[in-house]
Amino acid sequence: MFAAIRRNLLFCLIAWICMLPVRSLTQQNAEPIGPARHITTVPFTMLTGGIVIIRATLDSLPDSLNFILDTGSGGISLDSTTCSTLGIKLQHSNRTIRGIAGIKTVDFAYGHTMNLPDLSVEKLDFHVNDYDILTSVYGVKIDGIIGYSFFRRYIIKIDYDKMQMEVLTPGAIKYPRGGTLLKPQFSTLAMQRLYVKDRVGITAKFYYDMGAGLCMLLSKSFVTDSMFLNTKKKMFETQAQGLGGKAEMSLTIIKEIRLGPYRFRKVPTYIFNDEYNATSYPASGGLIGNDILRRFNVVLNYGKQEIFIKPNNRYRDSFDYAYTGLGIYLINNEVTVLDIMKGSPAEKAGFQEGDVVIGMNKNFSGNIQVYKAMLQTINTTISVMVRDKNGELMKRQLKVQSIL
């Protein structure tokens, strides 16, 4: 899921807890169970890149919190600021989480209950991380991330047409007609085989990651060893914020991706030097993110080690080929420029770190989601009103480049 394009890529969403005690999925399959039963339906909202947000409460606390649904997370987590505000007791641990820019030991909040409409999920152990960066990227307070600890207990249906999540009990289920049943490799995370083609075509495994606001992320080791990529094509340098700090990346286009029988052409793809092996290479070549996965309504059936996908109304949405090199964040309720990539349209337009965006194309809403959406139209020039560090107002003309 921002430093080098108009939409940030927050890859702390692909972090997971190492050495979590996991109930075997094989054990779950062996349990005699009847038909799956409906429990509840929960509405959700979607942010740039397809990031899914649901609202829930904790224990008997009244405050409603924002959680990201993330199949790329091996547990469930809370924001450290949220814990402090709500007075949630933390305990030190020797558990670690791994991300694109580091490995970190985390505290835990043990034995809490997450409340959804008509459903209370008990005995959850939340690891605690600092999600201030997510909040500043999306302009929405991010209180936590929901991953494997939730998904393993239920069958989850995600309908992007109706913008709702349905929760069912584990059990026998009849999948809708007209879709495809995937059989990923499961541990805590689902790893799906994909066909990727550029210079040549190959098949490899990639994490199925709803929490990544992008199409594809590839390990540089995978790209080098597989030699499938045409190395002569143009690369656009960018950055991503993740666990441990910033990571340098390259953005390019690969010719084709196939997920089951579904084919996508000219797919924007990020490549990075996976120093901390967040992608678990060579077991996985990287991940497929929700800018592709949101094009399918999905049934997550972890108990049966199955994922069912069916194309939805977003299936033929165009991909985002825009590039500006501008990283904007919501800081103290102001949309602020923090990153400008060298040689990018943003640098050529004269943006400086610390510029505060007052408006774009006469839109003065201050809504960072709106501004990022405005920066998605390629081969256009956007008039950006900023207040610089000296408090002076000035207008910058930003050309949105295409990576095609």
CATH number at residue 340: 2.30.42.10
Give residue for tokens 């107002």. Answer: 393
Would 316 be classed as within a structural domain? Answer: no
The verdict on residue 174 lying in a domain is: no
Q: What share of the chain is helix, strand, coil (3-state, %, to 5)?
A: 15, 45, 40
pLDDT at 28: 47
Give yes or no: residues 307 and 329 share one domain. Answer: no
Instruction: Please list the alpha-helical segments (H only) found in 5-101.
Output: 25-30, 80-86
pLDDT tens sequence across 83-116: 999 999 999 999 888 777 678 889 999 999 999 9
Domain containing residue 303: CATH number: 2.40.70.10
Contacts for 6 with CB less than 8 Å, ≥ 6 apart: 322, 324, 326, 328, 371, 372, 375, 376, 400
**Range of the structural domain that residue 195 is part of:** 180-311
**Parallel, antiparallel, or unpaired for β 96-99 and 102-105?**
antiparallel
Q: Are residues 383 and 275 in the same domain?
A: no
In a domain? residue 175: no
Residue pair 54/146 in contact by the 8 Å Cβ criterion? yes
Beta-sheet strands, E only, within 50-93? 52-58, 65-69, 76-79
Domain count, the chain: 3
144 shares a domain with 76: yes
Kindly list the strands in the beta sheet with 155-159, ordered across the sheet, starting from the edge strand earlier in the chain: 38-43, 164-168, 155-159, 296-301, 306-311, 180-182
pLDDT in tens, 42-90: 999 999 889 999 999 999 999 999 999 999 999 999 999 999 999 999 9
For residue 152, which of 269, 23, 12 has the smallest C-alpha distance?
A: 23
Residue that terminates a domain, selected from 311, 346, 377: 311
Q: Is residue 79 part of a domain?
A: yes
Alpha-carbon distance of 32 to 112, in angstroms, equals: 28
Structure tokens at 222: 């995978």
Does residue 96 fall inside a structural domain?
Answer: yes
Residue pair 303/25 in contact (Cβ under 8 Å)? The answer is: yes
> What's the CA gap between 247 and 243, in Å, rounded?
9
- Judge whether 242 and 214 are in contact, CB under 8 Å: no
Give whole-number Cα distances, 148 to 17, 74, 184, 287, in Å. Answer: 10, 5, 15, 16
Q: What is the pLDDT of residues 305-341, one digit of tens each?
A: 999 999 999 999 999 999 999 989 999 999 999 989 9
Decide if 252 is inside a domain.
yes
Q: Are 26 and 43 in contact (CB under 8 A)?
A: no
Q: What is the pLDDT of residue 298?
A: 98
What lies within 8 Å, CB to CB, of 379 at 6+ separation is: 400, 401, 402
Say what the pTM is.
0.90
The one-digit pLDDT tens for each residue of the chain (404 residues) are 333 333 445 444 444 434 343 444 444 444 557 999 999 999 999 998 899 999 999 999 999 999 999 999 999 999 999 999 999 999 999 988 877 767 888 999 999 999 999 999 999 999 999 999 889 889 999 999 999 999 999 999 999 999 999 999 999 999 999 999 999 999 889 999 999 999 999 999 999 999 999 999 999 999 999 999 998 888 998 877 665 566 788 999 999 999 999 999 999 999 999 988 888 999 999 999 999 999 999 999 999 999 999 999 999 999 999 999 998 999 999 999 998 998 999 999 999 999 999 999 989 999 999 999 899 889 999 999 999 999 999 999 999 999 98
Q: Is the Cβ–Cβ distance between 309 and 180 less than 8 Å?
A: yes
Looking at 118, 137, 168, which one is the last position of a domain? 168
Same domain, 243 and 113: no
Q: Would residue 233 count as lying in a domain? A: yes
Instruction: Clarify whether residues 290 and 329 are in a common domain.
Output: no
CB 163 within 8 A of CB 44: yes
pLDDT of residue 238: 84
Distance in angstroms (rounded) separating the CA atoms of residues 321 and 327: 16
Considering just the CA atoms, what is the radius of gyration of the chain in Å?
21
